Chain A
């Protein structure tokens, strides 16, 4: 947040406004100068012509006198008007500060000439019968001087006003940008994990999108934080019970009153250890998924993984007299999941089916391609899950009411999360046989990779 690397919005806006105002003023000044110059020329030309007309009306004798005595240069350095009276090619008379050379070859009308190093505006007029030409001239420098003084008079109040305008713009912008400062102060004053939204009421239109994004961000981070907290809370809670069970069973084994009781308790200790191992594995997969660390494009073959999972769960299935079936299909079928996740999906779904299915029932796993999508389904013929409880069954650590079998309620939540990450949809349906539950994952065409 160094001030050097972050340009100030206020300074930038002030600069832009001042530059725009300055440019506009310059343009206006240039236009007024041009206009003033033009009007001045017209006025002075008219004045020149009028003076010439007056002089032409005089007799040449009077002119002689004028030129000699009454038409002196008012200021020897800056003559206002000079006069020449030509008789044919001869300069009959001229005012004291007039050049010797003829001011204009014309005999009638206006002309602009450079004579003797000075730019002149000349008005020529024929006097009397036509042999005499009167030329009255004014130095152009004098006109320029006049125009510039007009320009200066126009410009100097503006130059004086510019810093004042700059100050005004600066102050106004400071005021106008106050909502931003308030926003910054509000954000700065927040506790790190504060998730309450910033008030959007009364925020200017330009700030509102930023505010809305910020609030959306707060909401999202609060949500993920809450999920994380909930998860770690649930996880520690869920680990406590199996640990308590293992500990208590071990103590029961210690205090066993006979060999049968001791053996039973020790078997329970081992079962508890297996359960907690599985639980920890599930938690690790979930944590990794939540952290977003998965290979997006991996695929794996179903058949070998399913074989492994069946082999692992065969004893549990046999204990309940259940049969595990893999529906015949494409033996080389691959699903868009990395092997460890696909294995986790198969393991959790088949394990759930074995756990919650019916004694002597069957579990059927089917994977295949249908209509451009890939699917995987695991069905049992047990009591199923009532439709109104299916949404709840997907929640983490949720165990359905009246459930007697052990489990932490993570399996389905884990599968759902994996489905989410790999772009599959998860559905819980009645099994086709009319009883039992079918858990189905479907990857639609875009995710289809074979």
Chain B
């Protein structure tokens, strides 16, 4: 899952980016409101961690603009402002969650997963598709009740396909969702990951739709 961290404090921004990467996210980190807006317009993000006191464009203004533009990306506000009125204002501006600094990174990652899950219409943290069970919180995958060891990137790819089960995702879409900016992506990276997943799970699990992309079919 790809997350956008918008935080102007270099020390905290760095910690959020690295910490979320440790927890399985592909993270892009920008330091001001305008850069965040540009990033949200250009790339698909599963969730946004948004600070409010930002240079150039405040977090609330950014949020209002994105919501007005029809962007429904889940947004978690992470701020030092703790007054109830400010929380209400943030949620009313279109935020899906409001967390006051400091925050535990595990909790932050869990809240982001919850936002993504709810956004995708799932009730549970565990995705069950036929004989595949994917636990987003524990980062574990079971195939026919046997645990399967996946690399973080393979897990992220499988998670994206599972969340959009029944829909075709292009190679570019998948790259955008599991890699952050500046991360080097080999031109055949997605093919390699799909190949590994097929080998570790079941060759027929992921369907290649020629010229379009990949598909994890919904179980009948």
Contacts and interface: CB of A to CB of B under 8 A. Distances in A.
B14 A241 contact: no
B55 interface: yes
A248 B81 contact: no
Contacts of A237: 80-81
Given A244-B101, A248-B16, A402-B32, A257 B22 contact: yes
A261 B81 CA distance: 30
Nearest to B99: A244
Given A240-B102, A243-B101, A265 B18 contact: yes
B15 A248 contact: yes
Nearest to A405: B10
Given A238-B80, A252-B105, A245 B11 contact: yes
Interface in A225-269: 236-238, 240-249, 251-252, 255-257, 261, 265, 268
Nearest to A276: B11
A401 interface: yes
Contacts of B12: 241-242, 244-245, 248
A236 B102 CA distance: 12
A196 interface: no
A261 B80 contact: no
A243 B103 CA distance: 10
B210 interface: no
B131 interface: no
B11 A406 contact: yes
A403 interface: yes
B186 interface: no
A268 B22 CA distance: 16
Interface string B5-33: 00011111011101100110000000110
A450 B139 CA distance: 70
B11 A251 contact: no
B9 A245 contact: yes
Interface in A115-163: none
Q: Which of B12, B32, B82 has the most CB of A within 10 A?
A: B12
B103 A244 contact: yes
Contact of A248 (B10, B32, B103): B103
A198 B26 CA distance: 60
A426 B12 CA distance: 33
B15 A249 contact: yes
Contacts of A246: 11
B209 to A, nearest CB: 34
Given A245-B15, A265-B15, A406-B9, A251 B56 contact: no
Contacts of B184: none
B189 interface: no
B68 interface: no
Contacts of A271: 11
A337 B102 CA distance: 38
A399 interface: yes
Nearest to B103: A244
B102 A244 contact: yes
A interface residue count range (under 10 / 10 to 19 / 20 to 34 / 35 or more) = 20 to 34
Given A240-B100, A243-B101, A251-B104, A401 B11 contact: no
Contacts of B101: 240-241, 243-244
Contact of A404 (B10, B23, B104): B10
A272 interface: yes
Nearest to B13: A245
Nearest to A243: B102
B19 A255 contact: yes
A92 interface: no
Nearest to A264: B18
A320 interface: no
Contacts of B105: 248, 251-252, 255
B31 A404 contact: yes
A404 B9 CA distance: 8
A102 interface: no
Nearest to B22: A255
Contacts of B14: 249, 268
A272 B15 CA distance: 11
Contacts of A37: none
A275 interface: yes
A286 B70 CA distance: 45
Nearest to A237: B80
Interface string A157-198: 000000000000000000000000000000000000000000
Contacts of B11: 242, 245-246, 249, 268, 271-272, 275, 406
B80 to A, nearest CB: 4
A241 B16 CA distance: 12
A261 B22 CA distance: 10
Interface in A269-293: 271-272, 275
Contacts of B15: 245, 248-249, 251-252, 265, 268
Interface in A381-433: 399-406
B6 to A, nearest CB: 13
Nearest to B56: A401
Contact of A406 (B10, B56, B104): B10
A252 B81 contact: no
Nearest to A250: B15
Nearest to B14: A268
Contact of A247 (B18, B23, B82, B102): B102
Nearest to B31: A404
A410 to B, nearest CB: 14
B148 to A, nearest CB: 20
A249 B17 CA distance: 10
25 contacts: A237-B80, A237-B81, A240-B80, A240-B101, A241-B9, A241-B101, A245-B9, A247-B102, A248-B15, A248-B105, A252-B18, A252-B22, A252-B105, A255-B19, A261-B18, A265-B15, A268-B11, A272-B11, A399-B55, A401-B32, A401-B55, A402-B55, A403-B8, A406-B9, A406-B10
Interface of B: 8-12, 14-16, 18-19, 22-23, 31-32, 55-56, 80-82, 100-106
